[in-house]
């Protein structure tokens, strides 16, 4: 799946940068809409990828196929309404943005993109890495988005237990990555989602053409 030649990295890097930039922008914009100005003050309401890159997370993206960006800092005290629900919505915004981009990319391919080599060369990794970033972040291990989404769905006492795991989350996450467990967890979902998007894209393409 992953081509580590210079040409291969050059082909996948734009898709990775777009996935990371829009993922973090979505987090920041969701927090901003809920009333928290922290991401705006910190310059995170932008799709410039260099405002969001985490060196280790980006390197893992290139080498392992999944990774992370620099987290958007939010202050839930500023949220309008319930703070726990607000954190869940902010966390959910990133993966949903990635899935939206992946679906739009699929439509681009089936509505003519396959006919143009360079469009296909850019869009196919764009789809793949957006789906990977969405699914990877839905793993319910802190500091990934999935932990905050899970906490938002649980009663407050149970949610507090999830928040208490944040001190150990990075260690657990690195163990999952370096033992290969992460790939076992996310790749079936990645293949399932991309296949579903391609099924819908193909059907729409057939209807139009």
* Active-site residue (options: 18, 22, 24, 94): 24
Instruction: Clarify whether 166 is annotated catalytic.
Output: no
How far is residue 182 from each of residues 39, 66, 98, 146, 192, measured CA to CA in Å? 29, 9, 19, 14, 16
Task: Please give the radius of gyration of the chain, using alpha carbons only, rounded to the nearest integer.
Answer: 18
Active site residues: 24
């Amino acid at each position: 799946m992953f081509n580590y030649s210079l040409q291969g990295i050059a082909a996948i890097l734009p898709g990775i940068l777009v996935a990371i930039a829009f993922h973090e922008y979505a987090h920041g914009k969701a927090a901003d809409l809920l009333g928290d100005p922290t991401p705006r003050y910190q310059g995170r309401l932008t799709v410039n990828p260099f405002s969001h890159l985490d060196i280790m997370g980006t390197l893992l993206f290139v080498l392992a196929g999944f990774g992370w960006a620099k987290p958007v800092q939010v202050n839930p005290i500023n949220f309008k309404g319930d703070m726990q629900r607000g954190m869940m919505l902010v966390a959910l915004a990133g993966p949903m943005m990635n899935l939206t981009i992946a679906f739009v990319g699929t439509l681009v391919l089936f509505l003519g993109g396959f006919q143009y080599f360079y469009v296909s060369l850019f869009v196919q990794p764009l789809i793949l890495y957006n789906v990977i970033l969405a699914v990877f972040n839905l793993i319910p291990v802190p500091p990934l988005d999935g932990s905050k989404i899970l906490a938002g769905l649980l009663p407050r006492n149970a949610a507090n237990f999830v928040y208490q795991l944040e001190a150990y989350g990075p260690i657990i996450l690195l163990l999952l990555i370096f033992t290969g467990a992460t790939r076992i967890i996310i790749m079936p979902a990645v293949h399932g989602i991309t296949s579903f998007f391609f099924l819908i894209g193909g059907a729409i393409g057939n209807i139009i053409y």
